[in-house]
Amino acid sequence: MSFPEEVIRKLQTAERIVVLTGAGISAESGVPTFRDAQSGLWANYDPEELATPQAFRRNPRMVWEWYMMRREIIKKVKPNPGHFALAGIEKRVTRFLLVTQNIDNLHRLAGSENVIEIHGNIQRTKCFDEDVVIDTWDTTDDVPPRCPRCGGMLRPDVVWFGEMLPSGAFEKSAEAVRNCDVFFSIGTSSLVYPAAALPYEALNNRILSIEINAEATPLTVHVDHHFRGPAGEILPQLVAAAWRA
Ligand code: OAD
């Protein structure tokens, strides 16, 4: 793929880059996306049945077991060239922030350091009642297991529909977007707010905005440049083109 000269020159001189990622960046690692018709997790399950506090109250065992199944899938997968390319960009610019909606930990495994996980991390567990992270608990027959502090139910430390993002996560991300030189939106359908509002912080501040996605999204018509295709192929090519020397 060839890239516009404006993009290459801007990347070469950029001091601050912010990247927003979604499930598409992990698709080539074998993690199902949420909304892709064929393989998306949501194609087989109704999200309202699984990813809301109400669903958990209604059927805690089913929700806990569904997340345990996803946790096992995610434990076995590895970062792909797209994740590694982003970790490489972080090493080349003065300030870099990766805001991810993914809960799979693959960015950190690839070596990214400055990461905000705005939808949490599936490998962490917290108490449903107290909202504090719990690292260890007694193994009993209880499903879900019980909080060792209060006896409440344990749940994955991820953001469910209708819940707030982790404290300060959106504000910190938006501030970084407003003050960057280049903004990327990669592998996200740009449908789920408030994360989907972040690109508009860049657009409203006339920051060079680039989308990388396998398909068009509601954001595509607004960005300065969009590159259509798999992030795991496009990102390494972009890094090579911009930082060849
Ligand atoms: P989606 O499943 O909504 O969108 C995935 C996007 O990735 C789509 O736009 C695809 O076209 C694109 N895509 C697929 N494969 C790709 C590839 N190899 N390279 C580049 N792009 C590719 O996932 P998200 O946008 O992440 O939230 O979904 C946002 C949030 O909705 C999730 O974090 C989750 C979900 O409900 C919560 O659970 C709170």
Q: What residue ranges of the chain are covered by domains with CATH 3.40.50.1220?
A: 1-31+79-119+165-245
Q: What residue ranges of the chain are covered by domains with CATH 3.30.1600.10?
A: 32-76+122-158
The confidence score (pLDDT) of residue 137 equals 93
What residues line ligand 1, using a CB cutoff of 6 Å? 22-24, 27-28, 33-36, 40, 51, 101, 119, 159, 187-189, 191-192, 213-215, 217, 230-232
Indicate the top mutation candidate among 25, 163, 188, 215 to test ligand 1's pocket, ranked by most ligand atoms within 8 A of CB: 188
Number of the ligand 1 atom closest to the C-alpha atom of 28:
18
Q: How many whole angstroms separate alpha carbon 173 and alpha carbon 68?
A: 29
Question: If you measure from the C-alpha of residue 148 to the centroid of ligand 1, how many angstroms do you get, rounded to a whole number?
Answer: 35
Closest C-alpha residue for ligand 1 atom 22: 24
Name every residue whose Cβ is closer than 8 Å to that of residue 142 and which is 6 or more positions away in sequence.
none
Question: If you measure from the C-alpha of residue 31 to the centroid of ligand 1, how many angstroms do you get, rounded to a whole number?
Answer: 10
What tens digit of pLDDT does each residue of 56-111 get? 999 999 899 988 988 988 999 999 999 999 999 999 999 999 999 999 999 999 99
CATH architecture of the region 32-76+122-158: 2-Layer Sandwich (3.30)
What is the distance of C-alpha 175 from the center of its chain?
Answer: 18
On whether the CB atoms of residues 160 and 52 are closer than 8 A, the answer is yes
Cα dihedral 87, 78, 107, 213 sign: positive
The confidence score (pLDDT) of residue 70 equals 84
The confidence score (pLDDT) of residue 212 equals 98
CATH number given to 1-31+79-119+165-245: 3.40.50.1220
Question: If you measure from the C-alpha of residue 23 to the centroid of ligand 1, how many angstroms do you get, rounded to a whole number?
Answer: 4
Cα dihedral 57, 61, 63, 68 sign: positive
DSSP string, 46-111: -HHHHSSHHHHHH-HHHHHHHHHHHHHHHHH----HHHHHHHHHHHHSSEEEEEE---S-HHHHHT
Where the chain has pLDDT below 50, the residues are none
Closest C-alpha residue for ligand 1 atom 31: 192
Q: How many whole angstroms separate alpha carbon 130 and alpha carbon 153?
A: 10
The confidence score (pLDDT) of residue 37 equals 60
The confidence score (pLDDT) of residue 47 equals 64
Question: If you measure from the C-alpha of residue 132 to the centroid of ligand 1, how many angstroms do you get, rounded to a whole number?
Answer: 27
On whether the CB atoms of residues 215 and 195 are closer than 8 A, the answer is no
Number of the ligand 1 atom closest to the C-alpha atom of 163:
39
Closest C-alpha residue for ligand 1 atom 4: 189
Question: If you measure from the C-alpha of residue 192 to the centroid of ligand 1, how many angstroms do you get, rounded to a whole number?
Answer: 9
Residues acting as catalytic residues = 119
